[in-house]
Amino acid sequence: MSGIAKMVGQRIRNYRIRLGLSQEKLAELSACHPSYIGQIERGEKNATLESIERIASALRVSLSDLFEKIGTANSSSSSIPLSCYNLIASKSLPEQELLYQILLDIERYKS
């Protein structure tokens, strides 16, 4: 499957886990089949726009947030800034704040 399908699927999984939802609960909230949710999360299925819209709504996330930074860097999956962004975006807000403070501490230490 395409790289974008995998990236969007991973984002959906990250948001779902952050909310503490099972795939079954997300499927129920988005009127999708649970196996379809799993296939989307693994990047095995190209989701329809309608499905993505229902899933985003169930996750209480905007479509722009779901697709943020996808396709803006060069298409190489080895883009370090994009990988860092995806890692941090997958964490809870307290974890994001902690990671940001760690980065600031590293930057201060270097100076």
Binned at pLDDT 50, 70 and 90, residue 75 comes out as: very low
Weakest mean pLDDT among 4-8, 9-13, 45-49, 76-80: 76-80
The dihedral built from the CA positions of residue 19, 24, 30 and 35, taken in this order, carries a sign that is: positive
Q: How far apart are CA 65 and CA 89, in angstroms?
A: 10
Contacts made by residues 26-35, CB under 8 angstroms, sequence distance 24+: 26/55, 26/58, 26/59, 29/58, 30/54, 30/55, 30/57, 30/58
Between residues 79 and 22, the one the model is more confident about: 22
Averaged over 84-102, what is the pLDDT? 86
Average pLDDT for the chain: 88
- Confidence (pLDDT) at 79: 74
pTM across the whole model: 0.71
Residue showing tokens 């697709």: 67
- Confidence (pLDDT) at 57: 97
The answer to whether residues 55 and 26 touch, using CB atoms and an 8 Å cutoff, is yes
